[in-house]
Amino acid sequence: MRILGSPRGARRALRSVAVAAAGAVALAACGSSGSNSGSSSSGGGSTSSGPTYTIAYEGPLSGGNSQLGIYQKFAVQLAINNANAGTTFGKLPFKLKFLPEDDQGSGTQAPTAAQAVIGDNSVMAVVGPAFSGASKAADPLYNQAGIAIVTPSATDPTLQTHGWNNFFRVVADDNAQGPADADYLAKGLKVSSVYAIDDASAYAQGLVGAFDTQATSDGLKVTHETAPGTTQCQAGTGNVQQYGALATKIKSSGAQSVFYAGYYCDFALVAKALNGAGFTGKLLSDDGSESDSFVTQAGSSVAQGVLASCACQDITKNSAAASFVSGYKKLANGDPGLYSGEAYDATNAIISVMKGIGSNVTRSAVISGLHSVNYQGLTKTIQFQSNGNISGTAVYIYKVEGAHMVQLGAVTSLIG
Amino acid sequence: MSAATVPASAGRGPAGWWAWARGVEGRRLVAWILSLLVLAVMTGPSGNNGSPTTGFTGSLLHPRVLVFVALGVAGWALSALRRSQGERLRRLNRSILALPQRAVADRRNRLLVYLVVLGVAIAYPLTLSGFWQQVLVDQIGIFVLLAMGLNVVVGYAGLLDLGYIAFYAIGAYSGAYWTGSLPVHPPFHLNPFWVIPLAIAAAMLAGLVLGAPTLRLRGDYLAIVTLGFGEIIQIAATNLQSVTGGAEGVSGIPHFSVHVGGLHYAWKLSNLPYYYLLLAFVVIALIAFHFLADSRVGRAFTAIREDEVAAEAVGINLLKYKVMAFAIGASTSGVAGLLSASKISFVSSEYFTVQLSILVLVLVIFGGMGSLPGAVAGAAFLQWVPQILRQHPLFGYQPQDLYIYLGALLVVMMIFRPEGMLPSRRRRRELALAERGIGTADAMSGSSDPAVGP
Amino acid sequence: MCFTHNFWNLTVQGLSDGFLYALIALGYTLVYGVLQLINFAHSEVFMSGGFAGYFVLNTLIGPRPPHGAGSVGTVVAGIAAGAAAGGAVAFLLERVAYRPLRRRNAPRLAFLISAIGASFFLYNLAGKEFGRNSVSIPEPFNLSTRVFSLFGAEVQTYEVLIAVSAVVMLVLLDRLVATTRLGRGIRAVAQDADTAALMGVDIDRVISNTFVIGGLLGGAAGFLFGLSSGVVYTMGFTPGLKAFTAAVLGGIGNIRGAVVGGLVLGVVENWGVSCVQSSWRDVIAFGILVLVLMFRPTGILGERLGRSA
């Protein structure tokens, strides 16, 4: 029978069996211990006792987008450490462990990361997934498993439309920031035309779509273009040379303002190119550019007066946040970054709910607790609408003055 | 190497040692130690742009470097030992394998072996945790299918395709389209099961469109052109957001379900049903490619891979068979894309990167180009390792450094084991002959005119 | 036509991009000439030049930017650092990834795969050691000051810098290949390696030196590119691919072809972007690659290193 192949083929098959068997044995060793997986760490101090529960974080810890994940991961870890030490909530009736899981920000890796979390029975809630794409892929699994997911950064507005009762989000979604930016340009700065650019990332495409719609209805003349960027200023093969030609195009279009949906390193290049082309209009970008790194990369002279928006408040000016910032610096050996504050608040909101439940915490109790939570966090008051979206969607405008991004105020107050 | 051999009577004073160090063995020792030092840096701490040297100093100016130097010396000693005892070891090897080899020469035993493997493949996953079942489907299963498909293109026909993920994307988007999940709607909605032939057709068509104009090119150029095409597909998918959903992606692609006659079954979120579906596809592909390798078409592929000029001289229509190889590989990739899209229920252009195409290539090369068990086992192994390291972090490995290891693996494999870990006998013979100067072991050497082949 | 109303602006930018492509393309073309090998990892040579320039300028330039002679000095230091790093990486590449394969008479495919592996290894290692964020190189002088006007287009100091550096390097290369012994060796090996060996040319040394020369140029280009666009560990991929397109466009193996190809590609790309969306820019370049390989695979200038130069 030809199907059996030749003796040669069988010898190869023998070898494959050997390899497979070795792999299977190893898998068995780990498959059974899969539920005790992950690099969990408990916080310092031992003022809590009782059962041990885990709060997980799912986000990009490796790959091109890891910086964003790292900012959030350390914030979550800090919150857990502080809670265990009793500084945030006093003595807790349980101990908390931290389980970070890496999904590389990718929709295809996310289900695997989610399964790793779900498989750990001590996990009571998840902060994350950080990215919208990963959320779309992983949230159905979390929903099936009945674990609360509190995302600090996945702003895709379709996420709250699936009727998942375990979905919560502590930032305003794209439907808030985009239109707010459009309103600010039209009614606050009173320009009549805008050149809207997105960096071809999932985040930017969603944001700029919402922006375009509102800008048009505000009466602005909108020209839209996609200019692929380097994706969160890391991996990605964005074409940095394109901005020269793009700036020339923008200058000759006569647009009075430019809205850039993307991240600070690409926005810095855009700003430099526009400056070189002699563009004198207003530049506004989103929370991805709301960073002092933008000033460093664009150069101080180019960056002066450039604007950015964020559905977040400047926590470094917030005195209550000073201890967060110093604690983060000690833990992470670096400064907190984008969405660190939001991740910290998300974790604390979860812990406050768990404290309210007592020592007998269950996944479903956490979900119902979150639906009625009212926790004063660093960035905002954490309270959720029935679909999981955060209540209150203030968007703030920042402006470069000197070497920093300085908060001007909320859009609603700026447009009067 | 052009080093002069050191006469055995070389003195053992300082001059003698220096001569020895510059000789073959000395150089090998240095090479071993240097390689292990590189490994020390790879597994060492990371730096950042404020302090670029901390990674290096932390890895090398640190007691742990001694471990690596010791390993380097040990490796050199072992390889020297192997070289001197080579013949004895080979005989030992052959005698150990003699019994099992005789056992499988018997057809009935072979059938038993295959059935045992199949049985393990069916039963074992039932004992695994949810996480490992997920890995088995998403990470291992899909990539095994991809590796088998690329193996036909690169391994059987010798065509280096660096844009292979483009066909995967086409399969995924076909699935999204025909089930009505894309912003543009199809004339009628289909169950993902019935999309399979459509996905295959779309991928094959793409393979044809890509292949027909470019397969006349020489190997290197073909590789770069396929790379360019892969990039073009990804850029187009991102830019044409109103058609494909762009980088944001589309979700809600329905899972597989069957409603035929009295048979009703719906795949949902859980992994096992998808695993068995995937296993069925893998087995079908295994049988199909196995027949392919020994068939007339397969022999044509082999001829093209070994020596295009001779193949053409014998009357093989190069273009026809190359396009066929491309189409077969493309359709396998398309099916994998469809399966993946339907399982995860989400498709986004951000995923279809060149890096992913190259990853599949690494899987095939590692297992052994042209070897079907090699492609399967190699892909399964290389996809399994990062997951196990994720659960049990080892010795300085960090997940974001994975590609450093893969890159080094490729270079090392090309130097020391280009035929792969589970090579096909024929391929190993090709390479051995080439090393001795007979034949060239691939279709890419010869004239340097990029358009005309060799 | 869509690009006519910004014609000179776009052309100036295109030439500026084009010179950078040309410098990188020369690395591909030189190696191809002597080895008939596409050095896929040349993009990492480019990247290492960018990082070297970044580190050097970071050290040299304090909080206050330099003026006059100080500016020129830092620029030269940056170019030198970039070139040195590029040359070193290219040398190592040849020694570690290609020479062992040459010894074994490995098939072409093995070289290409080894190149891909080396490329992966190098840029991911750079990401690990130097950080994965993009960084900008401190400016040695104001790069966007207008130097002069060309038919209404503003030519900035950055563009002048690129043009001057590129021309100087190209002239040096041309002289090297035409007059020196090494240059004769390169042309001989490119024409017929076996005969060259018989005539007493040390093949290994010529090949190694060819890699180094290509590396010097590519590394310098990395620094110049990084000056305006910042440095990040993945910066090599797209410019590398486009530079290869430029080399093919001009005629692979032909030095002057690489220059012509680079300039033409840069200009056509910039014109193209004004006609279509910026996001299709790379498609223009890859489209050119495919079309050239299909219809005129020998490129614009068509002749090889051995015969022309």
Looking at the complex, does the CB of residue A91 fall below 8 Å from at least one CB of chain B? Answer: no
Locate tokens 């107050």: which residue? A413
**A364 φ/ψ sector (left φ>0, alpha ψ -120 to 50, else beta):** alpha
Question: Taking CB atoms and an 8 Å cutoff, what residues of chain B touch A156?
Answer: 248
Q: Decide if B24 contacts B3 (C-beta within 8 A).
A: yes
Beta-bridged to residue A193, according to DSSP, are: A221
Residues present in chain A in total:
416
Q: Which of A235, A236, A244 sits opposite C13 (nearest CB)?
A: A244
Looking at the complex, does the CB of residue B228 fall below 8 Å from at least one CB of chain C? Answer: yes
Instruction: Name the token pair of B310.
Output: 């001779």
Whether C145 has a pLDDT exceeding 80, the answer reads no
Do A16 and B373 count as a contact with CB atoms less than 8 A apart? Answer: yes
Question: Taking CB atoms and an 8 Å cutoff, what residues of chain B touch A4?
Answer: 107, 110-111, 114
DSSP per residue, B404-426: HHHHHHHHHHHHH-TT-SS--HH
Give the domain CATH number at B270. Answer: 1.10.3470
pTM, 2 dp: 0.84
Instruction: Name the token pair of B398.
Output: 């960090």
Mean pLDDT of chain C: 88
Per-residue model confidence (pLDDT) at position A243: 82
- Nearest Cα residue in chain B from A206: B248
- Nearest Cα residue in chain C from B453: C297
Mean pLDDT of C168-184: 92
**Higher pLDDT pick, C143 / C264:** C264
Among B68, B91, B114, residue at a domain's last position: B91
Q: Please give the Cα distance from A182 to A270 (Å, whole number).
A: 19
Pairing type for strands A221-226 and A193-198 reads parallel
- Nearest Cα residue in chain B from C54: B49
- Nearest Cα residue in chain B from A24: B124
Residue B137: CB atoms within 10 A of its CB come to 27
Q: Which of B46, B224, B407 sits opposite C38 (nearest CB)?
A: B224
CATH number of C4-295: 1.10.3470
- Nearest Cα residue in chain A from C273: A245
Per-residue model confidence (pLDDT) at position B440: 64
Do B450 and C277 count as a contact with CB atoms less than 8 A apart? Answer: no
Q: Please give the Cα distance from B371 to B377 (Å, whole number).
A: 10
Looking at the complex, does the CB of residue C106 fall below 8 Å from at least one CB of chain A? Answer: no
Question: Taking CB atoms and an 8 Å cutoff, what residues of chain C touch A240?
Answer: 229-230, 235
Looking at the complex, does the CB of residue C160 fall below 8 Å from at least one CB of chain A? Answer: no
Q: How many angstroms from the chain centroid is the CA of residue B369?
A: 8
CA distance A19 to chain B (A): 7
CA distance C20 to chain B (A): 20
pLDDT tens, residue order, chain B (454 aa): 444 444 555 455 677 777 776 788 888 888 899 999 998 888 888 887 777 888 888 888 888 889 889 989 998 888 888 888 777 877 887 777 777 666 656 667 777 877 888 898 888 888 888 888 888 888 899 999 999 999 999 988 888 899 999 999 999 999 999 988 888 888 888 888 889 999 999 999 999 888 887 777 877 888 888 988 898 899 899 888 888 888 888 888 888 887 777 777 778 777 888 888 899 999 999 999 988 888 999 999 988 888 888 888 999 888 889 999 999 999 999 999 999 998 888 898 888 988 899 999 999 999 998 888 899 999 999 999 988 888 887 777 887 788 899 999 999 999 988 888 888 777 777 777 777 777 666 655 544 444 444 3
Residue B108 lies in a domain: no
- Nearest Cα residue in chain C from B439: C107
Per-residue model confidence (pLDDT) at position B46: 81
Mean pLDDT of C91-96: 94
CA distance A226 to chain B (A): 7
Q: Decide if C38 contacts C115 (C-beta within 8 A).
A: yes
Residue B197 lies in a domain: yes
Q: Please give the Cα distance from C303 to C257 (Å, whole number).
A: 8
Do A27 and B128 count as a contact with CB atoms less than 8 A apart? Answer: yes
B161 and B78 in a common domain: no
Question: Taking CB atoms and an 8 Å cutoff, what residues of chain C touch B450?
Answer: 248, 252, 293, 297-298
B141 and B41 in a common domain: no
Instruction: Name the token pair of C234.
Output: 């993945």
Residues 115-174 of A with CB under 8 A from B: 115-116, 118-119, 132-133, 136-137, 140-141, 144, 156, 158
**A257 φ/ψ sector (left φ>0, alpha ψ -120 to 50, else beta):** beta
* Chain B interface mutation, best of A1, A68, A112, highest count of B Cβ atoms under 10 Å: A112
* Helix, strand, coil percent values for chain A (each to nearest 5): 45, 20, 35
Per-residue model confidence (pLDDT) at position B442: 63
CA distance B403 to chain A (A): 9
- Nearest Cα residue in chain C from B238: C279
B248 and B380 in a common domain: yes
Which tens digit of pLDDT belongs to each residue from C1-25?
Answer: 677 777 888 898 899 999 999 999 9
Do C106 and B50 count as a contact with CB atoms less than 8 A apart? Answer: no
Do A13 and B425 count as a contact with CB atoms less than 8 A apart? Answer: no
CA distance A224 to chain B (A): 12
**Higher pLDDT pick, C195 / B265:** C195
Instruction: Name the token pair of B69.
Output: 């130097």
B86 and B223 in a common domain: no
Residue at B162: amino acid letter:
L
Do A137 and B344 count as a contact with CB atoms less than 8 A apart? Answer: yes
The total of structural domains in chain B comes to 2
CATH architecture of the region A175-310+395-414: 3-Layer(aba) Sandwich (3.40)
Instruction: Name the token pair of C65.
Output: 């930017």
Instruction: Name the token pair of A50.
Output: 């009782």
Q: Which of B160, B221, B403 sits opposite C293 (nearest CB)?
A: B221
Fold agreement between A41-172+317-382 and A175-310+395-414? yes
Which tens digit of pLDDT belongs to each residue from C99-126?
Answer: 999 988 888 888 989 999 999 999 999 9
Instruction: Name the token pair of C125.
Output: 């290692």
CATH architecture of the region A41-172+317-382: 3-Layer(aba) Sandwich (3.40)
Q: Would you tell me the crossing angle of helices C108-130 and B402-416 to the nearest 10 degrees?
A: 150
Among B375, B393, B411, residue at a domain's last position: B393
Question: Taking CB atoms and an 8 Å cutoff, what residues of chain A touch B351?
Answer: 106-108
Q: Which of B131, B271, B346 sits opposite A116 (nearest CB)?
A: B131
Do B449 and C298 count as a contact with CB atoms less than 8 A apart? Answer: yes
Residues 380-419 of B with CB under 8 A from C: 398, 400-401, 403-404, 406-411, 413-415, 418
Do B414 and C294 count as a contact with CB atoms less than 8 A apart? Answer: no
Locate tokens 């995923």: which residue? B351
CA distance A130 to chain B (A): 14
- Nearest Cα residue in chain B from C290: B225
B380 and B258 in a common domain: yes
Question: Taking CB atoms and an 8 Å cutoff, what residues of chain C touch A299?
Answer: 136, 139
Q: Which of A10, A62, A112 sits opposite B134 (nearest CB)?
A: A112
pLDDT tens, residue order, chain A (416 aa): 333 344 454 445 444 444 444 444 444 444 433 333 333 444 444 455 689 999 999 998 876 677 778 889 999 999 999 999 998 898 899 999 999 998 888 888 898 899 889 988 999 999 989 988 889 889 999 998 999 999 998 888 888 888 899 999 998 888 888 999 999 999 999 999 999 998 887 788 888 989 999 999 999 999 998 887 765 565 444 566 678 888 888 998 899 999 999 888 889 889 988 988 889 999 999 988 887 778 888 888 889 999 999 887 776 667 778 889 899 989 988 778 778 889 999 999 999 999 999 889 999 999 999 999 999 888 888 999 988 998 877 788 999 998 888 888 888 888 86
Beta-bridged to residue B259, according to DSSP, are: B264
Question: Taking CB atoms and an 8 Å cutoff, what residues of chain B touch A33?
Answer: 391
CA distance B110 to chain A (A): 6
Do A19 and B100 count as a contact with CB atoms less than 8 A apart? Answer: no
Phi, psi values for residue A289, rounded to 5°: -105, -5
Q: Please give the Cα distance from A237 to C119 (Å, whole number).
A: 14
Which tens digit of pLDDT belongs to each residue from C45-59?
Answer: 999 999 999 999 988
Q: Where are the domains of chain A?
A: 41-172+317-382, 175-310+395-414
Question: Taking CB atoms and an 8 Å cutoff, what residues of chain C touch A276?
Answer: 144, 156
B84 and B140 in a common domain: no
Q: What's the domain range around B77?
A: 14-91
Per-residue model confidence (pLDDT) at position B238: 87
- Nearest Cα residue in chain A from B142: A108
Q: Which of C31, C11, C247 is nearest to C151 (CA)?
A: C11
